[in-house]
Amino acid sequence: MSVSIHPSAVVDPAAKIGEGVSIGPFCVVGANVELGDRVRLHSHVVVEGRTRIGEGTEIFPFASIGHAPQDLKFHGETSELIVGKFNKIREHVTMNPGTEGGGMLTQVGDHCLFMMSSHVAHDCIVGNHVILANNATLGGHVHLGDYAILGGLSAVHQFVRIGAHAMIGGMSGVENDVIPYGLVMGERARLAGLNLVGLERRGFPKEQVRSLRAAYKILFASTGDTFAARLEEVVREYEDEELVKEVLEFIRAKTSRPLLQPRMENGA
């Protein structure tokens, strides 16, 4: 399968170009870049740094992929950006490689959609089937689970973890960790329930969803006991339930950020 490179594109001879790659007008591809089979750069795309783009990924005009991180602690270390297969990266998207302080790697999974002007900062780890809507931004060191969705104009604080299948509403500022399957909204984001629409769309068994809802009610909708006591109750009653187990593992994991909580009824 032949490679198509527009005459106006600037491709370093040292770059590794897979079969069937298409590089459109005025694109720039650096020396340490690797483009997998059937990658398509539409036009005016810049891919620099130690960057690998997986098979079938499509990148639209004016995206900047792999340039130096926006981090004053970065001093030119040989960090990487790895983007998986069959992603769609729309106009003006920016993705930065890792830093010494974050494991030297930014990694994006497969089958993701990054809509216009979304941003993946240094040292982020992004799962599969993730969607960032227009102008959604990830601070450095964010971990984003599979099938998570970030609404337009949302922003995630550095070091925050967002669990699999979570839904972040548009214009939300997320400062704390979001449990898997969580639903988040608000300018200063709060946990607003479970992503029940997403659970239904992805065909989770109703029995598992019922157990997850019951566990969520104990953890976040009960009053009186401490959170630690409520957590112990969920462990006793639901630890063997698959979806609940995932939430428990997320809560128990080591993290530098607190857990996002619902807003109290009295507005506290």
Instruction: Examine the domain organization and report whether 26 and 116 are in the same domain.
Output: yes
CB 171 within 8 A of CB 153: yes
pLDDT at 29: 99
The catalytic residue among 66, 123, 151, 165 is 123
pLDDT at 265: 56
The catalytic residue among 122, 141, 143, 165 is 122
Q: Is residue 122 annotated as a catalytic residue, yes or no?
A: yes
Final residue of a structural domain among 106, 124, 141: 141
Looking at the domain assignment, is residue 114 inside a domain? Answer: yes
Looking at the domain assignment, is residue 266 inside a domain? Answer: no
CB 20 within 8 A of CB 1: yes
- How far apart are alpha carbons 169 and 167 in whole angstroms? 6
Final residue of a structural domain among 102, 118, 141: 141
Instruction: Examine the domain organization and report whether 16 and 136 are in the same domain.
Output: yes
Looking at the domain assignment, is residue 64 inside a domain? Answer: yes
Instruction: Examine the domain organization and report whether 90 and 210 are in the same domain.
Output: no
Instruction: Examine the domain organization and report whether 125 and 17 are in the same domain.
Output: yes
pLDDT at 267: 40
Looking at the domain assignment, is residue 178 inside a domain? Answer: no
- How far apart are alpha carbons 124 and 104 in whole angstroms? 10
Output the domain CATH number for residue 248: 1.20.1180
Q: Is residue 123 annotated as a catalytic residue, yes or no?
A: yes
Instruction: Examine the domain organization and report whether 214 and 101 are in the same domain.
Output: no
Instruction: Examine the domain organization and report whether 46 and 126 are in the same domain.
Output: yes
Final residue of a structural domain among 141, 174, 191: 141
Structurally, the chain folds into a number of domains equal to: 2
Output the domain CATH number for residue 77: 2.160.10.10
Looking at the domain assignment, is residue 228 inside a domain? Answer: yes
Instruction: Examine the domain organization and report whether 137 and 204 are in the same domain.
Output: no
Looking at the domain assignment, is residue 156 inside a domain? Answer: no
Instruction: Examine the domain organization and report whether 102 and 229 are in the same domain.
Output: no
Instruction: Examine the domain organization and report whether 223 and 134 are in the same domain.
Output: no
Instruction: Examine the domain organization and report whether 131 and 204 are in the same domain.
Output: no
Instruction: Examine the domain organization and report whether 14 and 130 are in the same domain.
Output: yes
Strands 182-185 and 190-194: antiparallel
Whole-angstrom CA distances from 16 to 11, 180, 248 are 10, 37, 43
Q: What's the pTM value of the predicted model, to 2 decimals?
A: 0.96
Q: Which domain holds residue 230?
A: 200-252
Looking at the domain assignment, is residue 179 inside a domain? Answer: no
Q: Is residue 146 annotated as a catalytic residue, yes or no?
A: no
Looking at the domain assignment, is residue 131 inside a domain? Answer: yes
Instruction: Examine the domain organization and report whether 99 and 209 are in the same domain.
Output: no
Q: Kindly give the confidence (pLDDT) of every residue in the chain, 268 residues in length, as a single tens digit, with 9 standing for 90 and above.
A: 899 999 999 999 999 999 999 999 999 999 999 999 999 999 999 999 999 999 999 999 999 999 999 999 999 999 999 999 999 999 999 999 999 999 999 999 999 999 999 999 999 999 999 999 999 999 999 999 999 999 999 999 999 999 999 999 999 999 999 999 999 999 999 999 999 999 999 999 999 999 999 999 999 988 778 999 999 999 999 989 999 999 999 999 999 999 999 987 544 3
- How far apart are alpha carbons 125 and 27 in whole angstroms? 26
Question: How is residue 34 annotated by DSSP?
Answer: E
- How far apart are alpha carbons 171 and 189 in whole angstroms? 9
The catalytic residue among 102, 127, 140, 163 is 140
